[in-house]
Amino acid sequence: MHRRIQVKTPDPQDLDAQEQCFRDHSCVVIPDLLSPDLVREMNEAMDRDIQANPFMWWTTGSRNYNCNLLLNEPVFEHAIRPPRLLALLERLMDGPFCFEELAVRHRTGETTAVPTDWHRDRNYWDEHPLRLDYPQIIYYLTDVDETTHCFSISPEPAAGPTLPPQEHLERGGILDFHGTAGSGILFNAATLHGVTLRETNKVRRTIQVYFGHPDRAPVSDVTLMPPRLWRDHHDPEIRRFYGKFNRYSRVVLGGLGILDT
């Protein structure tokens, strides 16, 4: 069993401290990033969409998982560009960055606990000063503690060597991210992490947002870029930010005659 550790949460107004936390641990907890009103609106949007569009709640074989809520529930844009998050990403990314993927999940309870499914979503980008190709933020839309499922990560120094999973866990220990609805954790999607499923009848709801560098490969082929953001938006920076197309967007938008491919 690897040791459970705590990482001190830096003051969310202190960008220097947040940046340092990411450099030291490849992750940083950001409390209360979404207001209670936004959390309520997002939960209502989820309830509405699960009812109206159940067929949208399957992605890559996973149930209760929707990567395209941006199409019909624009409130989720607030999870992508909170000013405090953008300011931090600006420091970490070392150049322009853009939106890649939005995933929203409703996870029901389990009759028995399931150990963490340790994995890396993607590889490191070794040429980057923080080895950071795809930063991800996971927000909770429900309160999470030791009586619910939780996100777990094995922190590591951003500039450190890549270790095999068991050594990585040995070196970094395990941080279980517990927090109230509206809190988030920003991390390198290459750092070893997973979901820890507990024996519980409580639901856990999460939002996952991935960001990337404009000139690198898309992180995935699951989120369709809505034309209202990359084509019709009045602000050229927003159009640029949402204008990196994965294959899924190219096939669908191209096939509909909305995008030249």
Which residues lie near ligand AKG (CB under 6 A)?
A: 121, 138, 151, 193-195, 206
Contacts of 51 (CB under 8 A, 6+ apart): none
3 state SS of 75? helix
- Residue whose CB is less far from ligand AKG, 195 or 238: 195
* Helix H or strand E encompassing 17: helix 15-25
Tell me which of ligand AKG, Fe ion, none is bound by residue 25, counting a contact when its beta carbon lies within the kind-specific cut-off of 5 to 8 angstroms. Answer: none
**Any contact of residue 101 with Fe ion (CB under 5 A)?**
no
195 binds, among ligand AKG, Fe ion, none (CB under 5 to 8 A by kind): ligand AKG
Interaction partner, residue 206 (Fe ion, ligand AKG, none; CB < 5-8 Å by kind): ligand AKG
Distance CA 58, CA 67 (A): 9
CB nearer to ligand AKG: give 18 or 191.
191
190 CB-near residues (< 8 Å, 6+ apart): 120, 121, 122, 123, 124, 131, 132, 133, 134
Single out the segment in contact with Fe ion by CB under 5 A; choices: 52-60, 113-121, 151-159, 253-261.
Answer: 113-121
Residue 20: CB minimum distance to Fe ion, A: 24
The least CB distance from residue 13 to ligand AKG, in Å, is 26
Q: What minimum distance in Å lies between the beta carbon of 17 and ligand AKG?
A: 25
Least distance to Fe ion, CB of residue 51, Å: 27
- Tell me if 191 sits within 8 A of 158, measured CB to CB: no
Residue 45 binds which entry of ligand AKG, Fe ion, none, CB below 5-8 Å type-dependent: none
Task: Note the maximum CA span of the chain.
Answer: 54
Name the minimum Å distance from CB 229 to ligand AKG. 23
C-alpha 251/C-alpha 159 separation (Å) is 37
Minimal CB distance to ligand AKG: which residue?
151
CB under 8 Å, gap of 24 or more: what pairs does 32-38 form?
Answer: 32/180, 32/182, 32/183, 33/82, 33/84, 33/85, 33/139, 33/182, 33/183, 33/184, 34/78, 34/79, 34/82, 34/139, 34/181, 34/182, 34/184, 35/182, 36/181, 36/182, 38/75, 38/78, 38/182
Binding to Fe ion by residue 100, rule CB under 5 A?
A: no
Element (H, E) at 217: none
Indicate the residue among 197 and 229 with the shorter CB distance to ligand AKG. Answer: 197
- Neighbouring CB atoms inside 10 A of 109's CB total 14
Q: Minimum CB separation from ligand AKG for residue 194, in Å?
A: 6
| Closer residue to ligand AKG in complex, CB, 18/196 | 196
Using the contact rule CB under 5 A, the part of the chain among 48-56, 118-126, 139-147, 224-232 near Fe ion is 118-126
Q: Is 121 in the site for Fe ion (CB under 5 A)?
A: yes
Secondary structure element (H or E) that encloses residue 72, with its range:
none
| Least Å from the CB of residue 149 to ligand AKG | 7
Interface residues with Fe ion (CB under 5 A) are 121
